[in-house]
Amino acid sequence: MDEKTKTMKNRHYLSILIFLLSISYSFSQNTTLTPHGVVFPQMTTIQINALTGQAKGTMVFDNILNQMKYWDGTTWQSVTNGSSSGAWQSSGNDQYSTNSGNVGIGISTPAAKLSVNGNLGLYDSGVEYGFLSKNITNGALRLNGGLSFNAITTPKNLGLQVNIVNGLGSTFVAGNVGIGTDQPEEKFTTLTSSNKYGMLHSNGAVKIGTYIGGNAGWLGTKSNHPLILHTNNGANQHYFRENGRVGLGIEFPEQKLHINGSFKTEAGIYAAQTGNLNLVPIGIAKYEVSLNEDGVDSQEISNISGSLVSSLTTQIIITSVDDTVVLSFSYDNTQTQGYSDIIPLGATNILDYFGAIYGSKVYDVSLNGFKVVHNVDDLSDFSDSTTLSGYLIFYGIKNSNLD
């Protein structure tokens, strides 16, 4: 070996010695060069984290995590290894962590198994489908759409609870779900401002929803379609048409209210277009008068509903041509108070007679009563009893404009 070669080898060994001495000086530990490699300084995780201001590329071995670490000029970074323990391990193209602690992405103090400081993107073949992020304004969790649909799925029932003060997300508290509120009162509660729809159901064309506005709650169609209310799975239907007409039992009502069937009223019928006319049913009465050739055989009046009629008087008027039967009905004045007029409706049934009874006139109609007049061909020809009977329905009119 010539002198030049010896000099170069000596310089090489001297450089390695100076490098090892510098590491030994920096960490006050021994660095050993062996035929099989270099033994780096070994320290605990706490000792390593306490070292700052090192030269970039400085390397040490963490004997707690069994992991190589290097200083990147700002912090200590871990070097992936293939040993049986350590923060990150390789398994083919996959990586996994054997660390029993938490993992942070973009954060050095993770508080959960996985803590992400920033958006969490969901991708498929490089196309962004959506991402989870924190709402900048109020901290609510939101799922933002990308180029296609996005969803959160789970193989089992998903329980979601978001404890926020001013959030915009959904909450799941004690079995109730709230949208726009963190204190849902019922199983499903939506909170909106006034003049807003809360719930909306649509097939793309027909839209039905709930609405709050004008200090009232609304239920109806948002689109130009009728609203149908039904019972018994659609067997009984009532229609609210687009033109404002209502059909009860009929799909296409011809008036504001069109009823296919009978109806019952307890307080009367109010007709605003005829001078605010309020027509109120007062009662129903039944009467029966028996006549014979001598005059009145018997008479009876009874109130079936209400107590309007107080008495019935029958008068026979004999003339040379025809005889006349006058039935006078009197009202209980305590039952007519508040009404401007009383309207009696009814007809007389005539049974078992031999003479001729014809004509029927109502007169002297007032708040005190009314009279019914029947003409008789010749009462003296009545060899047997003849019965006059009927039902009367009374309506009262409440309208000061008619006085």
- Summarize the chain as % helix, strand, coil (round to 5): 10, 45, 45
How many CB atoms within 10 Å of residue 370?
20
Same domain, 239 and 169: no
What is the C-alpha to C-alpha distance for residues 131 and 298, in angstroms, rounded to an integer? 95
Same domain, 281 and 364: yes
What is the C-alpha to C-alpha distance for residues 307 and 327, in angstroms, rounded to an integer? 19
User: Band of the pLDDT at 325, cuts 50, 70, 90?
Assistant: confident
Has residue 396 got a pLDDT over 70? Answer: yes
Has residue 57 got a pLDDT over 80? Answer: yes
**How much is the pLDDT for 300?**
93
**How much is the pLDDT for 188?**
87
Same domain, 282 and 253: no
Mean pLDDT along residues 186-195: 90
State how far the alpha carbon of 161 is from the alpha carbons of 72, 151, 164, 169, in Å.
40, 17, 9, 10
Compare 258 and 122 and report the one with higher pLDDT.
258
Has residue 11 got a pLDDT over 80? Answer: no
Highest mean pLDDT among 1-15, 28-42, 121-135, 369-383: 369-383
Q: Which of 263, 288, 316 is the last residue of a domain?
A: 263
**How much is the pLDDT for 273?**
55
Whether 385 maps to a domain, the answer reads yes
Beta bridge partners of 70: 59, 77
User: Band of the pLDDT at 364, cuts 50, 70, 90?
Assistant: confident
**How much is the pLDDT for 380?**
59
Taking the mean position of all CA atoms in its chain, how far away is CA 307?
48
**How much is the pLDDT for 379?**
62
User: Band of the pLDDT at 316, cuts 50, 70, 90?
Assistant: confident
What is the C-alpha to C-alpha distance for residues 333 and 337, in angstroms, rounded to an integer? 7
**How much is the pLDDT for 330?**
95
The DSSP call for residue 394 is E
3-state class (DSSP) for residue 313:
strand
Q: Which of 79, 100, 135 is the last residue of a domain?
A: 79
Quote the domain boundaries for residue 172.
Answer: 120-190
Same domain, 53 and 132: no
Mean pLDDT along residues 341-365: 71
Whether 46 maps to a domain, the answer reads yes
Whether 346 maps to a domain, the answer reads yes
pLDDT, tens digit (0-9, with 9 covering 90-100), for 59-106 = 888 888 888 888 888 888 877 654 545 556 667 777 777 777 888 888
Whether 59 maps to a domain, the answer reads yes
Summary mean pLDDT of the chain = 76
Q: Work out whether strand 386-398 and strand 277-292 pair parallel, antiparallel, or are unpaired.
A: antiparallel
**How much is the pLDDT for 190?**
92
Same domain, 396 and 287: yes
User: Band of the pLDDT at 149, cuts 50, 70, 90?
Assistant: very low
Q: 4: part of which helix (H) or strand (E)?
A: helix 3-27
From 271-280, 315-324, 334-343, the region with the lowest mean pLDDT: 271-280
- Per the CB < 8 A criterion, the answer to whether 60 and 41 are in contact is yes
Whether 114 maps to a domain, the answer reads no
Compare 127 and 193 and report the one with higher pLDDT.
193
Same domain, 254 and 338: no
Beta bridge partners of 34: 37
**How much is the pLDDT for 261?**
87
- pTM score, whole prediction: 0.40
State how far the alpha carbon of 167 is from the alpha carbons of 119, 139, 340, in Å.
18, 6, 63
- Per the CB < 8 A criterion, the answer to whether 291 and 388 are in contact is yes
Same domain, 162 and 67: no
Mean pLDDT along residues 323-337: 90
Same domain, 176 and 243: no
Same domain, 356 and 288: yes
Same domain, 283 and 237: no
User: Band of the pLDDT at 191, cuts 50, 70, 90?
Assistant: very high
Whether 127 maps to a domain, the answer reads yes
Has residue 116 got a pLDDT over 90? Answer: no
User: Band of the pLDDT at 154, cuts 50, 70, 90?
Assistant: very low
Same domain, 284 and 393: yes
What is the C-alpha to C-alpha distance for residues 315 and 37, in angstroms, rounded to an integer? 141
Q: pLDDT over 90 for what percent of the chain?
A: 22
Whether 210 maps to a domain, the answer reads no
Whether 13 maps to a domain, the answer reads yes
The total number of structural domains in the chain stands at: 4
| CA-wise closest residue to 315 among 348, 291, 338, 332 | 291
Q: Which of 79, 99, 128 is the last residue of a domain?
A: 79
User: Band of the pLDDT at 226, cuts 50, 70, 90?
Assistant: very high
With a CB cutoff of 8 Å and minimum separation 6, the contacts of 174 are: none
**How much is the pLDDT for 328?**
92
Highest mean pLDDT among 42-51, 217-226, 277-286: 217-226
Beta-carbon-side half-sphere exposure of residue 42 (alpha carbons within 13 Å) = 7
User: Any idea which residue has 């969901």 for tokens?
Assistant: 122
| CA-wise closest residue to 382 among 300, 323, 302 | 323
Same domain, 296 and 398: yes
